[in-house]
Every structure is written in C-alpha cells, then in structure tokens.
Structure 1
Amino acid sequence: MATYVLVHGAWGGGWKYARVAERLRRRGHIVFTPTLTGAGERSHLLSGTITLSTHVTDVCNVIRYEDLSDVVLAGHSYGGMVITAVADRMPEKIAALVYVDAFVPQDGQSLFDINIPANTQMFLARAGENGGLFIPPPPAKAYFGVNDSDAARVDALAAPQPIGTMTEKIRLTGAYRSVKTNVYVHGAVLPRESPFKRFYDAAKQAGWDAHALPCGHDIMLDRPDDLTDILDRTGR
C-alpha cells in the first residue's frame, strides 16, 4: 500500500483525478486529490492575490495535517511547479515525484520563464483582456487535445487561473534533489507545439523512469489505466 497526493494543473481541480484515484484505491492505496485555492470546488476563493506560494502551501498543509509520509507526489502541467517546491520544503516526506506532462523548474524560474514564448505571450494578452489578474481557460479539445467525451465537461468546470501563479519565480534550496525516484509521463499527441516534450527528453537523458503515451495533455482523462499502472509501479 502506498500514499499518493495528486496535484492538478492550471484551470483544473482535484476532480480531474477521479478516475485514477478510484483505480488506485481499488488496488489498496491511500489517495488524496487536493484542489488548489481558487480552482474547482474552491473557485469561490478565486482572488488576484493567489500565487504559486499559495498553492505550495495548500499541498504542504495536506501532507502536514493528514500526517502523511513516504508520499508519491504527482503534479500535472502547472502542478509540476507546485510539487517541486513542496518536495523542496519537506523532502523527508516524499518518496517519489511524478511529473504528469508537467513543467520541471529550476530555482529562480517562473512558469512563464519556461513555457513556450508564444504561450506566455498569449496568456499575458488574455489576462490583459480580463483585468490583468486572471487567465481564462483555453478550449480543452483545441488547445489540450482532450478527448471528445470529456472536452465539454472540462470546459464547463475550468476556472480562471490567477496570473500570480505563473509569474512568481520559484525559490528552491535544492533539497528536493534528495528525492531519489523521479518519473515523467508525457502526453505525446497535442494539437500544437508541446512545451513539455523537452522536459520529457531531459528526463530520459537523466535516467528517470520516462513514458510517452499516445494521448493529449490531460493524461488522467485520456489514459487513466496507463497512468494508474505507472503510479502503482512507482509506489511499490
């Protein structure tokens, strides 16, 4: 039995992991799918003051207050920023880091620093059209390649992303590097240039357990069985 904390990406919510969480629990694992402040069922807390640090604290508090240890900590997309910072704050609690088509930052980088420049420019422009504080969600199918069955629901449940989560530069001491197990799972079919392929390539080169799946960006929706199997093996 392993303990999992699954962190969603921008415009998402813990609800995105429902299928994977159900499958892991059927295998006897303990699973937490926290929703970050301002997203999903916590969208009523949306505020222009929310930053990356807010979301890092969200996840650290789950681990602290639930008294978790030996955690397999997974982050999707923007969630890669969050899990890296969490592991840097409490590396003794983390058994493995799993980047699910996610950004892998270095100290001093913001998400905008490591995204494709065209994406960063588009997000800044869209935020500017919405008061400068929030980035509205892009269309699930056209932008992220979400499957036809899930795309409408993703669009309906997506919440605006506070721009501070993408502009704040991460501060890392390097303590996260003491986590010995690192996994990268890449969604290899995207209807645009993927900002994540270079992180997947770097993970392979570094000797991580790296996987490329024939699906879009939201792997937990498109390939829940495959992602469950990878997480299950990681926790053993």
Structure 2
Amino acid sequence: MTTFVLCHGAWSGGWGYRRVAEIIRAAGHDVFIPTYTGVGERSHLASPDVNLETHIQDVLGLIKWERLEEFVLVGHSYGGMVITGVADREFEKISRIVYLDAFLPKDGQCLNDLTTAAQQEHMFNLAKEQGDGWQVPRPDGSIADTVSAEDREWIESLSSAQPLATFTQKLKLAGNHLKIADKVYVLATEKKATPFYQFAGWTRQQEGWQTVELPIHHHLLQSLPEKTAEVIMGR
C-alpha cells in the first residue's frame, strides 16, 4: 500500500479530487486530501492574512500529525506552488512528487510571476471589484467547455474565492525539492496557450524528471479521472 497526499488548485478544495481519490483507494492505497485554509469547507477561515505560506503549513501540519513517511505528493495547478514549498522542507519523506498541469516555481517566485501581465491585472481587478481587495473569485468562463455541463455546474457551485496573497507571496526555496528521485510533470495539451508549457519544457531538459502529456483540458481531475489516477499511481 502506498500513501498519497493530493493537493488541490485555486478556488477549489479537497472535493476536487473526489473521483481520482476513489480510484486510488479502490486500488488499495491510502489517500489524504487536505483543504487549504480559507477555501472549500474551510472558507469560513478566509482573511487577508491567508497566503501561500498558510497553505504550505496546512499540508506540513497534515504530514506531522498523521505521521506520514514515504508518501507520494501530488499538486494540481496552484497546488504546484504548495507542494513545491512542502517538498523543499520534507523532501526526505517524499518518495515521488507529481505536478498535474501545475505551477513549478523557482526560488523567489510567486504565482503571479508565472502568468502574463494581462492575467495578473485581471486577478487584481477581480479582487478590487468583487473581493474587497483581498479575495479573488473564480473568473467567469475559466471552466468554459473544459468539462461537461454537469461537471461545470458542480465545480462552479463549490468554488470559493481565493485569498489574493496566495498568488502574490513569493516562495523561498533551498532547492531540496529537486532532490526527490522520482519527479513527474503532467501537461494537459488540449489547450495550447497555457502557462504550464514552460514548466513541461523545462522538465524535459532535466535529469530525474518524467514528462507526461495528456490530450485533455486543465480540469483533468474531473474530465479524465481514470488516466489521472493511473499517472499518479505510476502505472
């Protein structure tokens, strides 16, 4: 049996991994899906002080109190920021790290540094106009036709605003996360103009990385759970 820690993206929660987790558990493995402070079922804890470090601490706390050792760490989208920070501090406990169409930052970078100027401006405007200056609601049309109409309604109904500071706080890294022997980057290739191509391009040139392409949209947790689970399990 293998233990998996699945870290979700922005505007989401542990619920986003529901289908993937069911498949992994059915294969006989143990799965933990932390929901970050201020989103999902923990949205009542949202405040201007919630930042990237808060979410890293959420996962580090899970690792400590569940006494996790030799586990697989997985992050989707914004979750790549979180797992990078976690892995940099707990790399000796992580047997495998998997980035699912996720941000892969370097030392001193925040999520906004890895997006376009137009995207950054849009996030700040959303926070200013709809989030009291510190919360970013899920952008209209961000799901669009990437999932079925039923799944789109499900995702939108459960989406919560994301604290802006999680996008703007820069990550301090020692580089320990790169010491993990088994590293995987999964690129969703259905849409060509995404920020994630830059990370897949980098991992292809590095030793110790496996780069996987899936012909699917960014919301692969909902639209391709079986294949996503297989990749996570290393099949």
Fold match (TM-score > 0.5): yes
Aligned position for 1:172: 173
Farther off after superposition, 14-23 or 112-121 = 112-121
Q: Percent identity?
A: 43
Q: Distance in 1 between matches of 2:156 and 2:32?
A: 23
Instruction: Indicate conservation of the 8 Å contact 1:140/1:146, yes or no.
Output: no
Partner of residue 3, structure 2:
3
- Give SS of 1:197's match: helix
Task: Give 1:232 deviation, angstroms.
Answer: 1.3
- The two structures have a TM-score, normalised by structure 2, of 0.94
Q: Which runs of 5+ in 1 are unaligned?
A: none
What is residue 24 of structure 1 aligned with on the other side?
24
Cα distance in 2 for residues equivalent to 1:206 and 1:34 = 30
Does the 8 Å CA contact 1:146/1:217 hold for their aligned counterparts? no
Deviations 1:59-91 (A, max 9, x none): 001111000011110001110000000011111
Contact 1:141 1:147 in 2 (8 A): no
Q: Output the aligned Cα RMSD.
A: 1.4
Match of 1:161 in 2: 162
Displacement of 1:140: 4.3
Distance 1:55 1:150 in 2: 26
AA paired with 1:103?
Answer: F
Which position in structure 1 is the counterpart of 2:53? Answer: 53
Query: Any gaps of 5 or more consecutive residues in structure 2?
Result: none
Point out the more displaced range, 105-114 or 170-179: 170-179
Q: CA deviation at 1:43?
A: 1.1
Which residue number in structure 2 is paired with residue 39 of structure 1?
Answer: 39
- Could you tell me whether the CA contact under 8 Å between 1:187 and 1:213 is conserved in 2? yes
Q: Per the alignment, in what secondary structure is the counterpart of residue 67 of structure 2?
A: coil
Whether the aligned pair in 2 keeps the contact of 1:96 and 1:180 (CA below 8 Å) is yes
- For the residues of structure 1 that align with 2:175 and 2:205, how far apart are their CA atoms? 20
Residue in 2 aligned with 1:141? 143
Cα gap change, 1:118 to 1:10, in 2 (>3 Å): same
Residues 74-131 of structure 1: per-residue CA shift (max 9 Å, x gap): 0011100000000111111111110011000000001001112221111111111132
- Following superposition of structure 1 onto structure 2, how do residues 117-128 of structure 1 map, counting pairs within 5 Å? 117-128=117-128
Q: How many residues align?
A: 232
**Post-superposition offset of 1:189:** 1.7
Q: Which residue type is aligned with residue 100 of structure 1?
A: L
One-letter amino acid of the counterpart of residue 12, structure 1:
S
Question: Which runs of structure 2 are paired with 1:1-236 in the superposition (5 Å)?
Answer: 1-129=1-129, 130-138=131-139, 139-142=141-144, 145-190=146-191, 193-207=193-207, 208-233=209-234
Letter in 2 for 1:213: L
Deviations 1:2-30 (Å, cap 9, x if unpaired)? 11000000000000101111111111111
